[in-house]
Amino acid sequence: MDSRHWIDGAWVTGTERFASINPADGSVVGHAAEGGRAEADAAIGAAHAAFNRPDWAQNPRLRQSVLLGWADRLDAEAEDLARLLTLENGKAIAQSRGEIAGAISEIRYYGGLARHVPSHVLEVEPGVLSTMLREPAGVAALIIPWNAPAVLLARAIGPALACGCTVVVKPAAQTTLLTAAFLRTLSEVPGLPRGVCNMVSETGHAAAARLVDSPLVDVVSFTGSTATGKRIMVAAADTMKKLSLELGGKSCCVVFPDTDTAETAARIATAATIISGQQCTAARRVLVHASAFDAMKTHLRAALAAMTVGNGLDPAIRMGPLIDRPARDQVQTQVERAFDTCDEVLLRGGVPKDSPAAASFLTPSLVAHDDPSAFFCQDEIFGPFVVLERFETEAEAVAKANNTAFGLSASVWTRDGARALRMARALRNGTVWINDHNRLFAEAETGGYRQSGLGRLHGYDAFADFTELKHICQMVGTIG
């Protein structure tokens, strides 16, 4: 398997290639073209020229037919794409199938909306009309991570293309083949003008950095860590780009004693180990009412210990490897530091004994701790690691849950409907689930409070990240 850059309608190779590695066994899945600043400039130039032609930015019906045609082509290749996603990322095949289906659904959603990006007109004084025209913002650079490369691409490229932007996609190195396979189906849709969508791949960050500082890029939509998001904000300041930043999280589950603790524990274990704990919204901290704390200890430890870990292509496996060895080693180091300083180690995860030498598996860990200021309650540890904490009152639960720099997502577990909504309102997060976790929909905006990011993706409000509002004022006068 081989992937190239996609620039101005052509799939082009570079002089160098890099390997995409299967994290379940270290084998080579395929190769991708190595790019950098020059390829980024060529892609930006193509996107800029395509934006300045009226055939895309001012043709919503074409945009809809391209997006719907793309979704149909993806449908036809869904199973192959799911397998490729598991090969490159390692996630369980059921999760890959769900992600591909979700991404296709999202492209259809934005295909529908492409013909409904309304503006509004006001008569501000007699005979004075103010047209507030919602226009595409221009060239959008989309920097996509490896953890959910299909759905996170769809939720950025969907609104960007639907509202008339042209784009340059920069995939994560680890999942470049999946992104390229996804975009190849778009390149085959009749009617797509050349240069509207471009892709540049790389192992380093030179192309990504160029997307951020180029004066010809109008929007940067980045999904990744808060640390990189901050660097992007600084680098984008000089050219005053619109920024859509979907960053890190440290999601809390707040559990009251009126739920079935065993069932809640099982569902939280699933929420904590989704993509091997490498999902931004994965359950990380579990705050439990003191009266249910001991029961939760027992049930959550059992549920995490029962997680089947192995090659994601095996349908019996619920947790695959981490994305690569550096990521696995970093998470393992953080988890071992937590073991040294936490109140109690409840489940000591590690590298499974039968793991292939070049694989990056790590089994889940669970600790109990009272002080929410501990580094492992504050820092995002991007792997299968969970902290159990205790509370006595709703106010204490809210104070502990909100004691974080992040604000991406949380969940409340209770049978008391009023309490659920009261808690949901008090938790400072972009998303709060009630008696569930990790439910994401094309229709429902997601994004972060505080250091979890800027802007919203999914849903109608995603257009705010990719459009500008222009005021056209006209004195038409009155008759009579």
Contacts with ligand NAD, residue ranges (CB under 6 A): 143, 145-147, 152, 170, 172, 205, 208-209, 212, 223-225, 228, 231-232, 235, 246-249, 280, 380, 382, 408, 448, 452-453
Catalytic residue among 34, 88, 202, 246: 246
* Four-point Cα dihedral 178, 183, 185, 188, nearest 10: -150
Nearer to ligand NAD, 382 or 463 (CB): 382
Interatomic CA distance for residues 56 and 151, integer angstroms: 23
Instruction: For residue 347, give the amino acid letter.
Output: L
**Smallest separation, CB 213 to ligand NAD (Å):** 9
Residue partners of 191: CB distance under 8 A and separation at least 6: 62, 65, 66, 69
Residue 16 contacts by C-beta under 8 Å, 6 or more apart in sequence? 33, 34
Cα 399 from chain centroid? 27
CB of 329 to ligand NAD, least distance (A): 14
Contact assessment for residue 294 and residue 397, using Cβ atoms and an 8 Å cutoff: no
What is the C-alpha separation between 172 and 34, in angstroms, rounded?
12
| Shortest Å distance, C-beta 174 to ligand NAD | 8
What number of other Cβ atoms are within 10 A of residue 37's Cβ? 18
d(CA 169, CA 155): 13
280 is catalytic: yes
C-beta closer to ligand NAD: residue 156 or 420: 156
Residue-wise over 113-148: b if at least 16 C-beta within 10 A, else e?
A: bbeebeeeeeeeeeeeeeeeebbbbbbbbbbbbbbb
C-alpha closest to that of 253 among 274, 266, 271: 271
Which three-class secondary structure state does DSSP give residue 296?
helix
- Residue 186 or residue 280: which is nearer to ligand NAD going by CB? 280
- CB 475 to ligand NAD: min, Å: 45
H-type helices in 379-433, by residue range? 394-401, 417-426
129 in Cβ contact with 473 (< 8 Å)? yes
CA distance 217 to 49: 12
- Is 385:338 a contact under the CB 8 Å cutoff? yes
Question: Minimum Å distance from CB 99 to ligand NAD?
Answer: 12
Please, what is the minimum distance in Å from the beta carbon of residue 214 to ligand NAD?
A: 11
- Nearer residue to ligand NAD within complex by CB, 191 or 204: 204
At position 208, the amino acid (one-letter code) is A
Residue number, 297 or 437, with CB nearest to ligand NAD: 437
Residues forming a β-bridge with 166? 139
* Cβ nearer to ligand NAD, comparing 312 with 453: 453
Instruction: Please state the closest distance from residue 218 (CB atom) to ligand NAD, in A.
Output: 16
Query: Sign (positive/negative) of CA torsion 95, 98, 104, 110?
Result: negative
Residue 389, C-beta contacts closer than 8 angstroms, at least 6 positions apart = 285, 286, 287, 288, 368, 369, 370, 372, 377, 400
Is 473 a catalytic site residue?
no
Task: Check 197, 252, 280, 377 and give the catalytic one.
Answer: 280
Tell me how far, at minimum, the Cβ of 249 lies from ligand NAD, in Å: 5
Select 168 or 397, whichever has its Cβ closest to ligand NAD. Answer: 168
Residues annotated as catalytic (active site), given as ranges: 246, 280
